[in-house]
Structure 1
Amino acid sequence: MKESLIDHISVFVFDLFKEKLSTNYLYHNYIHTQQTVEAAEKIAKGYDINSTEKEDLLIAAWMHDTGYTKGYKNHEEESVKIAEGFLGKDFPKARLELIKALILSTKVDEKHANILEEILHDADYINIGKSNFFERAELLRFEWELVYEKTYTDLEWAQVQLDFIISKNFKTTYAQAKYGDKREKNIQQQKEVVEKLKSDQFKLQTKEDSTKLKANKEGRGIETLYRSVYDNHMNLSALADNKANIMISVNTIIISLVITLFGSSYTFTGEGITHVRFVFPMLFLVISSLVAVVFAILSARPNITSKEKYELSNKTSSALFFGNFAQLSLNEFVSHVKGLKDEKESLYSSMSTDIYHLGVVLVKKYKLLTWSYNIFMTGLILCGVSFLVIVIFSS
């Protein structure tokens, strides 16, 4: 099945962010872009938009934050350059200009000229009308602290977010009807947070209280970082499994077709296999497909067991991994988790260990996938070249 332009762009954006986006971008990353695309597609269903306009909208949604790979400054203009380079000179000029305008319309306080720009605006800020607004805001806070090297007190950041959500409203009637009520509730909840923090700040005057606030702030940032890393690992693992499924499907179809052709005594020149020389190209293809599908299956095959018996005293393994805690009794597991909750350093150590092992699994998956794709590509080349050689020397 032919890959659509949108699917091709989604893979391009994922690879671009994986290779060139700084790890400091905890908010403006592939996850945010994917959520924006999904929201744009959902909102667009409520309007009379033709298929070409919808495709241009989704292209702009995928591309609108790619400029962050160059930095925060003028990232919209950089996104336009990346979009132009990817789409190429053969892409229709009128559509390209529309996509560029859509990307530039995502600038803060930019006026919107048409329904497509309004849809993209609402999709980009969809979190203000969702329950995960506060969680996403914390990721943005940590990103700004890393990128701008500027720290915010809880009150400062709460006020920034309150001002932001008040200043931003949905442009489309669909988003207003769907997410407007939740936005208003988020405003009220954020206002209560600001008022509470102002009250707490008035009460907390001692040095000890200030130190405690700073420790809580750092802990929250670390927890957000761990959560973001876990999400990235899960997304990479899902992508690897999808790539493995593609290889398994394609190669099993090729193997089945070749076996069927030879099993029915099919030949390129008449009844029966009268020209043995045509067997060799097909043999190259079958062998390469078989080996490639084996590597793909090894990549996708689940491994739920630990190589060694888990012990609570072992600092190189984590009880958070289900292959380990399955070896423990219920009481042992509950006791260990309680100990992690009481000892923050042990908890972070266990989470770091778990992330490390997830990374090891990812490296293994992608190595096997690399072998699978390389073998498949080599088999195709050998098959094609051998067919050409046979045809040339047979003529």
Structure 2
Amino acid sequence: MNYAQLLDEVKQEVTHFFQLHENDGFTYHNLSHTERVVTNAGLLARHYQLDDKDFFIVTTAAWFHDTGYYVNGATDHELRGTEIAAAFLQGKGVDETIIHAVSNCIMATCLPQTPKNLLEQIVCDADLFHLGTDEFPEQNKKMRKEAEWRMQRKISKHEWRQSTIRLFQAHHFQTDYGKSLLTGKKTENLQRLKDKEAGEIEESATSVTTAQPVPKAVNVPKPQGEPKKAKVERPERGIETMFRISSQNHQRLSDMADNKANIMITTTSIILSVLLSVLLRKLEDNQNLIIPTLLLLVVCVVTMVCSILATRPAIPPGIFTQKEIDEKKVNLLFFGNFYRMSYDEYNKGMQEMMNDRDFLYGSLTRDVYSQGVVLGRKYRLLRAGYNVFMYGIVVSVLAFMIAAIFF
């Protein structure tokens, strides 16, 4: 069976299904969500190196798992999704054992999730992958909007937040890879929900207290110089965007520097080849050109050395210690700090970093700073090389003219 071709047909079928049943009320359970689940399922399946048949099963289940929403609503939508998938696969002559496996994967996504094997675990984790990513706040808003549309009533932030917290507490990622990859961010997302809920309750209690009438005889002076309460939350998405853009800009600048150095190395190499192969042979007959030739030779060599130094990589020791992890002083995002460490040691350090926001952002800051230091060195050497070449060429040409005219 050609599973790749059959998967293309599955994709076309489900895409056409969503387009045919398009409804603006489904702000979350729509084609975009399905495509994300398919992508996540593929990521997990490739990690576990599934064969073609198993890869087809989890991917097909991911494509069909939410189609039941568009047939009689959310209740028992998984069951209707299995019926839609089975009807399509039977029409394609797919073996019943595969159809049964696809149906089981879809049914395993029922809350609470109850997967019985690796394939079902992969589909479950792919379906709720966003709980452990930075996409959660945005997807959560879409889910609340869709729920309000289905229930035909407004859902308060407090009510929705409480139900989401219960979902987080009842949910567990099923695969070992999903746990290691997503649990840290999921814990952070849950804590943020709890902090918002606690802040809202405190604010409500404060507003009730301040609403009580104050007797006229009581003089409540306003505290002087009391600092305003700092906002605890930071713009996480903005911070991550800043780090991503900074790293991308540094990478582009580094590529530009390397290109400039390569241009200069190539240019000086050509000049040196001509000097050594042609001009030096004729110096015995043209002794007046010895000084200009040597001057040009020195200029080219110095320029080439500066350009090579600008592109020459510096390799750190590649080892970090547990003390550096505890003190949050090591940057685990740069290969030079860990390439001689074992995977277990590196994974342990990464897990500690991902579970500590200050450590994570500190590493990102250190990484951006280190890139800036390397860039500064590159551009200083490049500037020196270009200056030597520019002024040296001018002086060398003048020297050749003087030697040719007066000597």
**TM-score (norm: length of structure 2):** 0.48
**TM-score (norm: length of structure 1):** 0.50
Q: Which has the higher Rg, Structure 1 or Structure 2? A: 2
